[in-house]
Amino acid sequence: MKILALGDVFGEAAVEYLVSSLPKILSSLSPDLVIANAENASGASGVEPEAAERLFEAGCDVLTGGNHTFGRKAFSAYLDARENALRPANYPAGAPGGGYTVCRAADGRRVLVVSLRGNLGFPVPLACPFETLERILAREQGHYDVSVVDFHAEYTSEKMAMARAFDGKVNVLFGTHTHVPTADETVLPGGTGYLTDLGMTGPVGGVLGVRSETVVAAMKSKLPARFETAEGEIRAHGALFTLSEDGRCLAAERIRF
């Protein structure tokens, strides 16, 4: 079984790129399931329902979220209507949408996909991601064959700690949020496929997908600024995880297109 995970889709040009290129990528890699973090698919803060729909139509099976999931007002209602569009599961229970889903992969297996947000480095803490994931795994026991976690977090230490805590308890765990791919793809001792950060699917001509001059001006002035999506070449970063029949990860491979 192969699971393709795509790093943070940033901006409309990145959506257009995936609409035109993802079918070719899928043809070459033949994944059984495609997961993309889409919290910024409409720009520097949030995703509109139209952009999410285009990603689904392009071949994504599940869209995960993060700290910008609720950046666009219309997306809240969309989350309630689309069970494979996720916000972090450790938001309060009254938040729109759901934090996990169980879907069918192309090979027929039931895959539990969980979206979580870290707490370190964010101004407003959410429920403990460790305890949240423990509860989800216990609640859904027997209802899935493979489990995948997108941990949207700022600190590499928090992502690594989550991976170590759930090694052998989940099949795949990867990090998102920093927009910079890490070089530590591995299979942990318990059989969990892991990568600290997938990186970004977006324009490489700026600073983490944002126009360079905007970011530089904000850092120098120390004043709030309206971030605008950068221009230039689009690159897709992510990882391909290969699992055995019993769910143990056999290989974790970084990808870039």
> Mean per-residue pLDDT for 4-20?
97
CA distances from 56 to 18, 37, 49, 62, 125 (A): 10, 12, 11, 8, 30
pTM of the shown model: 0.95
Active site members? 68
pLDDT tens digits, 179-212: 999 999 999 999 999 999 999 999 988 888 777 8
Mean pLDDT over each residue of the chain, to the nearest integer: 95
> Mean per-residue pLDDT for 124-133?
97
pLDDT given at position 217: 82
pLDDT tens digits, 77-92: 999 999 999 999 999 9
pLDDT given at position 27: 96
pLDDT given at position 115: 98
pLDDT given at position 82: 97
What whole-number distance in Å separates Cα of residue 40 and Cα of residue 210? 11
Checking if the pLDDT of 19 tops 80, the result is yes
Of residues 45 and 124, more confidence is placed in 124
DSSP H or E segment with residue 128: none
The domain spans of the chain are 2-256
CATH of domain 2-256: 3.60.21.10
